[in-house]
Amino acid sequence: MTHVARPMPRRLDSFTLASEAGNERPALDRVARSVAGLGLPAPRVDRLKTAVAEAIMNAIEHGNGNRPEIPVEVEVTQDGDQVIVAITDQGGEAAGKAAAGGDAAINAAEPDLFKKLEGAEGPRGWGLFLIRNMVDAVHVMTDGQRHTIWLAMRTGGAADAGHV
Amino acid sequence: MSAPAVTMDVRRLGHGVPVIDIKGDVTAACEPVLMSAYEAAGGGKAPWLLLNFGGLDYMNSGGIGMLVTLLVRAKRQRQHLAAYGLSEHYREIFELTRLDEAIAIYDSEQAALSAAR
């Protein structure tokens, strides 16, 4: 059998941002610039941007408690035919429970518009739902205080559910 | 929360049908702007309210929540909401969230107005 060495993951960009509402907006544009040239069709770039924005908003609000002095870390990597965006906050287990409590929470969040219209649910709560539906795979991990969500999107082919 | 990067202007079309022209970013921060525009458009008095998303740059989950709040208000008044000018991406999000089942989506202002008259 012939073994072909898999290329090492390539970091496309890495940056931090202050935990202030609205900071997801320039960050998602920066992520989009970092994946330009990888062949992602424009509709999939739009989907990635939406997922990244929601994950950063969760990191700012639930992970870092809107404390500007605690940064959100964003890393964009190309790994084979995937783009992976890792977003890390310092919320640890607390962030996990509040926003994205591991993969189970990512998969459990299922808002119902018509329950919301009847008043049985609050009007918000769409973030995890959007994340799950916008990218090909999502994985969440907590290591001490560090709480990271990985968003993966293949640079070719259609989206399907899965894990990084 | 930072100041909203959005404008929402109200126009009246034929038969007095109000339309809110949404330009910029739709987030939770712009709820006061939307509710002011809603009141300027007559609140729940008009049987139809059109939302023009042709100038939409960005909408996040907070913006979706805000639209749900608007829908609750409109539903209480038995008012119909219609939208047009959505990009393919935000049409997909309307479909995913089922907003398209509560807000009728049209390809153009003329099509939305025809439905509202």
Chain A positions touching B64 (Cβ under 8 A) are: 126
In this structure, are residues B30 and B61 in contact, taking their beta carbons and an 8 Å threshold?
A: no
| Residue-wise pLDDT tens digits, A73-128 | 999 999 999 999 999 999 987 655 555 445 656 666 589 999 999 999 999 999 99
Q: Which residue ranges form the domains of chain A, and what is each CATH number?
A: 12-154 (3.30.565.10)
Reported pTM: 0.89
- A157: confidence class by pLDDT, cuts 50, 70, 90: very low
Domain assignment present for B1: no
Listed residue (B71, B14, B61, B76) closest to A61, CA to CA: B61
Interface residue of A114, A126, A131, A133 to substitute, partner B, most B CBs within 10 Å: A126
Question: Would you say B84 and B53 are in contact if contact means Cβ atoms under 8 Å apart?
Answer: yes
**For residue A11, what are its two tokens?**
């970091």
- Complex ipTM, two decimals? 0.91
pLDDT in tens, B35-58: 999 999 999 899 999 999 999 999
Mean predicted confidence (pLDDT) in B12-23 = 96
> What is the domain extent for residue B50?
6-116
CB A134 within 8 A of CB A94: no
Total tally of structural domains belonging to chain B: 1
Selected residue of A17, A45, A61, A117 to mutate for chain B interface (largest B Cβ count, 10 A): A117
CB-CB under 8 Å, B89 with A24: no
Closest of A23, A25, A36 to residue A67, by C-alpha: A23
Q: Is A152 exposed, middle or buried (0-12, 13-18, 19+ CB in 10 A)?
A: buried
Residue B82 belongs to domain with CATH number: 3.30.750.24
- Residues A92 and A145: their CA atoms lie apart, in Å, by 4
Q: What is the pLDDT of residues A16-64, one digit of tens each?
A: 999 999 999 999 999 999 999 899 999 999 999 999 999 999 999 999 9
